[in-house]
Amino acid sequence: MGKALEGIRVLDMTHVQSGPTCTQLLAWFGADVIKIERPGVGDATRGQLRDIPNVDSLYFTMLNHNKRSLTLDTKSAIGKKIFTRLIEECDVMVENFAPGVIDRMGFPWEKIQEINPRMIYASVKGFGPGPYEDCKVYENVAQCTGGAASTTGFLDGPPTVTGAQIGDSGTGLHLALGIVTALYHRERTGRGQRVECAMQDAVLNLCRVKMRDQQRLAHGPLKEYSQYGQGIPFGEATPRAGNDSGGGQPGWILKCKGWETDPNAYVYFITQAAVWGSICDLIGKPEWKTDPGYATPDARLDKIPHIFDVIEEWTKTLDKFEVMRICNPLNIPCGPVLSMKELAEEPSLRATGTVVEVDHPTRGTYLTVGNPIKLSASPSEVVRSPLLGEHTDEVLRTVVGLSDEEIAAAHQEGAV
């Protein structure tokens, strides 16, 4: 048994982050992903945020593992012929160009379907059909237009974007699921289909619980939000809620020992109802177990900020890992705020392949995040990203079926 997606060939027209995240996942699951890049130029991220001169950036290498790179000018005459052959030979085509780019290349969906009716054509755009359908979009635009920014940050501060790339990588993940679903559908019908995911829609999907709260607002204040306990009235829209858990079990980020100098000496602490008694004992407030003002979750709702202030007096006496060590045996859900440095050095993440060291011919060894989705019969091995055009001749010969003379002619014309 090979890898789960072995035998699936992907024509990868993606660039920057959202599309490459999707095709990298497919490649990790065993698909043959052929990344098409402009001759001499390549994916713009190869040259962005460079840490070493003239070497593919970490931005590029960390999003393009396990792929082959073919340079191709899809606007040249030879390029169009090669591209048509690739559409014939591939199962999936993925792109995240600006709206209209693929049509201008001369390959609208109708034509792709005509060339290969089994083709699954997947694309990321900033917006779905509507007033903004022609707009170019980057990560933080999607975070703002999809509802994440208006609900992230503190009540008295401006809207805030998150470091998690929910617009780009989040949409790429959604798209990958759409592609695999369409492949499953093709098994039964023999036909491909179009798969589209707008970044605004993907972000909104990830902010689903905030849309839930928007509707709950019509029936009264959101009592699990800290602002309720602080006596601050609610407005018309779901507010920013700082570090509130957003769920039925209140939570907050609390200072731990060393917070004055260490920006990550914090722990997320959840006062789950089932373990309330253990929390009261730990923080030296055993009387809260029976006090009618604190004994039940409902009674505590108007005191959430105060309760966390008291718990913090306890967490400040311990380092974040000690808090975790003490709380875990008591089933109190909590988690230290881990820095990127700590995550990079965490042995258990190395052991599972979630953090991987990769060797690269021009960069040397670098660290990357491997496949977070683990399949027992199809484990992922992380293979370094390709150099620009590294597999051009190989793909032209074995996939497109060109002779050595035809390959030489394509080079001479500047088409590859």
Told to check if 300 binds ligand CAO by CB under 6 A, we report no
Q: Is the distance from CB of 271 to CB of 229 less than 8 angstroms?
A: no
Told to check if 59 binds ligand CAO by CB under 6 A, we report no
Show which residues are catalytic.
Answer: 168
* Residue listed under structure tokens 């006596």: 231
Strands (E), 126-237: 194-198
Q: How many Cα atoms sit within 13 Å of 161 on the Cβ side?
A: 16
Q: Work out how close the CB of 386 gets to ligand CAO at its nearest, in angstroms, rounded to a whole number.
A: 15
Of 80, 85, 105, 305, the one binding ligand CAO (CB under 6 A) is 105
Q: Work out how close the CB of 112 gets to ligand CAO at its nearest, in angstroms, rounded to a whole number.
A: 15
CB of 44 or CB of 369, closer to ligand CAO: 44
Q: What angle do CA 215, 221, 225 make, to 5 degrees?
A: 95
Q: What mask, x for binding ligand CAO by CB under 6 A, covers residues 127 to 146?
A: ---------xxx--------
State CA 183 to chain mean position distance.
22
Of 6, 40, 52, 104, the one binding ligand CAO (CB under 6 A) is 104
Q: Work out how close the CB of 198 gets to ligand CAO at its nearest, in angstroms, rounded to a whole number.
A: 9
CB of 124 or CB of 207, closer to ligand CAO: 124
Q: Is the distance from CB of 413 to CB of 78 less than 8 angstroms?
A: yes
Of 6, 7, 52, 75, the one binding ligand CAO (CB under 6 A) is 75
- CA-based nearest residue to 330, from 402, 269, 265, 401: 269
Told to check if 257 binds ligand CAO by CB under 6 A, we report no
Told to check if 125 binds ligand CAO by CB under 6 A, we report yes
# residues near ligand CAO by CB under 6 A = 24
- CA-based nearest residue to 399, from 95, 24, 84: 84
Told to check if 98 binds ligand CAO by CB under 6 A, we report yes
CB of 332 or CB of 410, closer to ligand CAO: 410
- Can you tell me the distance from the alpha carbon of 117 to that of 123, in angstroms, rounded to the nearest whole number? 17
Torsion 94-96-101-105 (CA) sign: negative
CB of 15 or CB of 240, closer to ligand CAO: 15
Overall residue count recorded for the chain in this entry: 416
Of 168, 213, 244, 312, the one binding ligand CAO (CB under 6 A) is 168
CB of 71 or CB of 245, closer to ligand CAO: 71
State CA 394 to chain mean position distance.
31
Of 8, 72, 179, 396, the one binding ligand CAO (CB under 6 A) is 72
3-state secondary structure of 154: coil
Told to check if 272 binds ligand CAO by CB under 6 A, we report no
Told to check if 124 binds ligand CAO by CB under 6 A, we report yes
**Residue 198: partners with Cβ closer than 8 Å, 6 or more residues away:** 124, 125, 126, 127, 128, 171
Q: How far is CA 415 from CA 281, 334, 401, in A?
A: 72, 56, 16
Q: Which residues bind ligand CAO (CB under 6 A)?
A: 16-19, 36, 38, 44, 72-75, 96-98, 101, 104-105, 124-126, 136-138, 168
